[in-house]
Structure 1
Amino acid sequence: MAVLTLSWAVILTAAASFAPGFASAFSTTHSTYRIPATVQNEPAYVRFEVDTPGGILGIQSRQSLDAPMLDSINSSVFDWWYFDAVSLDDPRESLVLTFFTATADAFPFLDSTQKSVLIAYAWASFSNGSSWAGYLPATLATVDIGGDGEADGNVSSGMWEDTGFRWNASKEDLSAYEISVDSPELDVKGTLSFTSRAPPHLPCGIKSDTTPLQIAPHIGWVNLVPDAVGSVDVTIRGTQLKFEGAAYHDKNWSDRNFTESVRSWYWGHGRLGAYSIVWFSYLAINDLTNTTYVSSYVARDGEILVDACDVSLLTVRPTGSPNTTGSRYPPYVGDIPDGFKLDFVLEENKRLRVNVSTESKVAGDGEYYMRWTGSITGEMVEEMGMDSSSKSLVRESSLTGVAVFEQFHMLERGSS
């Protein structure tokens, strides 16, 4: 087993190259990463690709996607592990648990007074419409990756010490996780556990030999569990939050400050009848071409229908009430939509059209960042004929479900 102490640090390059010790970590079968809490003042090397020989995401490559993607954390980079679940019976009920390695300089939505780069964060929303959030700094983070899960009981685990937050994946293919919180300081105790019902999703799907991991320039993203059968049982300050729902796990990272990259960021996932859907639509700041970056994922009963980053295959647009800026696109700081319209283009002239409506605000400042839970409706449409006058035949309608979704708007009105 390789044990790596990652000394955190200012990016030299955005190239997919690594410090020698960091690169070798991804070729071992079992590696332990120990991440110190102090910000580092040295270059950080980033990983933006994964080996996929023959167009297959093998077990070892899959496990490596849950490892740290930077070999150090300085004030210009970020890396985090994200887990959530939303109730299928009541989308106002949800739980989000995130393990951050970042400073507030790199990701400005963290507490700027915290000295630790290791922050464990929890958000919860309840059936009465209320929400709660809490976080704790860790003194050390340990991430353990690799193996078959039989010898030591896990193939991916993370522990943010002195917070009571940890995750554990016990199956070799990372299809089952348990994330636990036991924090007297926050007065929170319980678990989120889930078993995957859809294959992993990489930004542009899985390519032959090597697959890129950037959703947009400088922004890495992997979605190891697009949709899962989840169970939440957690008590928060004496209130029990217990439900069955749609669960999810991904991770994001970057080799530079969030505000230097992002103009707008729309992301979400949901369960819509038999369909599992994930969307990501992104505009880069200071991009004179206004290029839209997307990643589109739809699976039906675990069979992938689309898994791609072709901008022609997904359109995401905000919706808003009259006399508001909620539906403005491209958006600016302060634009708060009522929901979103999604148009997924599938094979064989089929489209999945989805309406997303907000139910509960889970997090956000009302200007730059918002996260919601909500209900979704949709229909599967097959386009008949080849010309613009052709009619469409609705194949499946009245599809309903639940979703978790968010936005970042980082450009002020009047900015160039």
Structure 2
Amino acid sequence: MAAFTLSWTVILTAAAAFALGFASTFSTSHSTYRIPATVQNGPAHARFEVDTPGGKLGIQSRQSLDAPMLSSINSSVFDWWYFDAVSLDDPRESLVLTFFTSTADAFPFLDSTQESVLIAYAWASFRNGSSWSGYLPATLATVDISGDGEAEADGNVSSGMWNDTGLQWNASKEDLSAYEVSVNSPELDVKGKLSFTSIAPHVGWVNLVPDAVGSVDMTIRGSRLDFVGAAYHDKNWSDRNFTESVRSWYWGHGRLGAYSIVWFSYLAINDPTNTTYVSSYVARDGETIVDACDVSLLTVRPTGSPNTTGSRYPPYVGDIPDGFKLDFALREYQRLRVNVSTESKVAGDGEYYMRWTGSIKGEVVEVGMDSSSESVLESSITGVAVFEQFHMLERGSS
């Protein structure tokens, strides 16, 4: 698989040799990274392994997951911090805040006219069906990570500030289970915060907070966005251009009944075998059932209306589904089957990239040993989700 094998499975080690191309300071108590806004020359090296002494992810290693994963930001790499929340009462209400370190060459969905590699982006959708997005370039990004498993004097174990944008995040608990992302931007005419506390344990992959109780209180150009919902935080990075890695990418997270789910299904570009790579996370009442990258544990397929290409798989640019079918393997002989329906478009160009919020409905079944029979254990489980797709291969391309 291409570079994304690394960025969606097990992650980095704080002890790895890692020459930083941007300014950084380290002490026994914390690490501070100062990332410049200009493109850096020379190769960029990525961290892709996690230090798990005794087979466990320690506090210090957990905190290092929020640190920059690249030694520098040249024109062909990307690294970003992602936060979102969707209302449990109405999935049309959502908020996404992303802190990018990338050029548009590396991640082509950014504004190619921007010279800064530091972009703070916000997307919001409202229950009246409207949506809004805006972004600002930063002059400097500062990321502080506690290095000893304890909060710093200001109470934070992880924080990031994209200078001159008014956007920043802070994590106050040593296990990274509680975050606050704030926005105070007169230029965007946005002010407020997203706060959340994890309801599920931390797991050793890129989803730092797979599911959380999120509270949004934000005013966006005079419109109030105020809801409680399902929140999420992850981190993505690569040491190569996005278009050199991805053919298709399906990702999402949601909560239905007592279940929290995260899914990711990926096809690499220029892979004649169309090998599918997945990451699967399922928890029930905060207890993890599945967190693995075994392709046998998850199947994700698009669904579409008749006479459309929405359900085509493998997909091509322009294939827009009505939703997705998810099939998670749980405990032995048990499966969680979920139908995801698109309700609100939050972002996207209608061809290469789309993000939606929507409703989800599922059931848990027990499958017979010979797979010829099954019985329903839980039915009509409902909830909400945020989900997205990237399709990067044109029809007719080799």
Give the 5 Å matches for 1:209-288: 222-288=206-272
Q: Distance in 2 between matches of 1:286 and 1:82?
A: 28
Aligned to 2:394: 412
Question: Is the 2:26–2:32 Cα contact (8 Å) retained in structure 1?
Answer: no
Q: Deviations over 1:210-231 (max 9, x none)?
A: xxxxxxxxxxxx1100000000
Q: Look up the SS of the partner of 2:208 in the other structure.
A: strand
Q: Deviations over 1:160-193 (max 9, x none)?
A: 0000000000111110000000000000000000
Question: Is the 1:281–1:293 Cα contact (8 Å) retained in structure 2?
Answer: yes
Q: Distance in 2 between matches of 1:336 and 1:27?
A: 49
Determine which of 295, 303, 310 is the counterpart of 1:319: 303
Structure 1 window deviating more from structure 2 (192-201 vs 182-191): it is 192-201
Determine which of 364, 367, 370 is the counterpart of 1:387: 370
Question: Is the 1:29–1:60 Cα contact (8 Å) retained in structure 2?
Answer: no
Structure 2 residue 173 is matched with structure 1 residue 189: no
Aligned to 1:345: 329
In structure 2, the gaps of 5 or more residues are 1-6
Q: CA deviation at 1:27?
A: 9.1
Q: 1:95 to 1:324 in 2, by over 3 A?
A: same
Specify the code of the residue in structure 1 equivalent to 2:326: L
Structure 2 residue 191 is matched with structure 1 residue 199: no
Question: Is the 2:100–2:118 Cα contact (8 Å) retained in structure 1?
Answer: yes
Aligned to 1:335: 319
Q: Look up the SS of the partner of 1:312 in the other structure.
A: helix
Q: Distance in 2 between matches of 1:183 and 1:128?
A: 24
Structure 1 window deviating more from structure 2 (319-328 vs 51-60): it is 51-60
Q: Deviations over 1:303-347 (max 9, x none)?
A: 111111111110000000000000000000000000000000112
Aligned to 2:105: 105
Question: TM-score with structure 2 length normalisation?
Answer: 0.93
Specify the code of the residue in structure 2 equivalent to 1:399: I
Q: Look up the SS of the partner of 2:207 in the other structure.
A: strand
Aligned to 2:72: 72
Q: Distance in 2 between matches of 1:302 and 1:181?
A: 29
Q: CA deviation at 1:29?
A: 3.9
Specify the code of the residue in structure 2 equivalent to 1:68: P
Q: CA deviation at 1:201?
A: 3.4
Question: Is the 1:201–1:297 Cα contact (8 Å) retained in structure 2?
Answer: no
Q: CA deviation at 1:26?
A: 8.8
Q: Distance in 2 between matches of 1:114 and 1:124?
A: 22
Q: Distance in 2 between matches of 1:319 and 1:163?
A: 39
Q: Deviations over 1:70-100 (max 9, x none)?
A: 0100000000000000000000000000000
Q: Look up the SS of the partner of 1:370 in the other structure.
A: strand
Question: Is the 1:18–1:45 Cα contact (8 Å) retained in structure 2?
Answer: no
Aligned to 1:399: 381
Aligned to 2:3: none
Structure 2 residue 96 is matched with structure 1 residue 96: yes
Question: Is the 1:18–1:46 Cα contact (8 Å) retained in structure 2?
Answer: no
Q: Distance in 2 between matches of 1:291 and 1:25?
A: 41
Determine which of 359, 383, 391 is the counterpart of 2:343: 359
Report the count of equivalent residues.
382
Structure 1 window deviating more from structure 2 (295-304 vs 112-121): it is 295-304
Aligned to 1:49: 49
Q: Distance in 2 between matches of 1:353 and 1:374?
A: 16
Question: Is the 2:20–2:72 Cα contact (8 Å) retained in structure 1?
Answer: no
Q: CA deviation at 1:152?
A: 2.3
**How high is the sequence identity, in percent, across the aligned residues?**
85
Question: Is the 2:336–2:362 Cα contact (8 Å) retained in structure 1?
Answer: yes
Point out 4+ residue stretches in structure 1 off by more than 6 angstroms: 14-17, 24-27
Specify the code of the residue in structure 1 equivalent to 2:198: S
Aligned to 2:118: 118
Specify the code of the residue in structure 2 equivalent to 1:401: G
Q: Deviations over 1:244-290 (max 9, x none)?
A: 00000000000000000000000000001111100000000001221
Q: CA deviation at 1:18?
A: 4.1
Specify the code of the residue in structure 1 equivalent to 2:391: H
Q: CA deviation at 1:151?
A: 2.5
Specify the code of the residue in structure 2 equivalent to 1:140: L
Q: Distance in 2 between matches of 1:403 and 1:339?
A: 11
Q: Distance in 2 between matches of 1:72 and 1:263?
A: 26
Q: CA deviation at 1:202?
A: 3.7
Q: 1:32 to 1:387 in 2, by over 3 A?
A: same
Q: 1:28 to 1:327 in 2, by over 3 A?
A: farther
Give the 5 Å matches for 1:29-178: 29-146=29-146, 147=148, 148-149=150-151, 151-178=153-180
Specify the code of the residue in structure 2 equivalent to 1:414: G
Q: Look up the SS of the partner of 2:376 in the other structure.
A: strand
Q: Distance in 1 between matches of 2:354 and 2:193?
A: 25
Determine which of 358, 362, 375 is the counterpart of 1:378: 362
Question: Is the 2:177–2:202 Cα contact (8 Å) retained in structure 1?
Answer: no
Q: 1:259 to 1:225 in 2, by over 3 A?
A: same
Question: TM-score with structure 1 length normalisation?
Answer: 0.89
Q: Distance in 2 between matches of 1:20 and 1:111?
A: 29
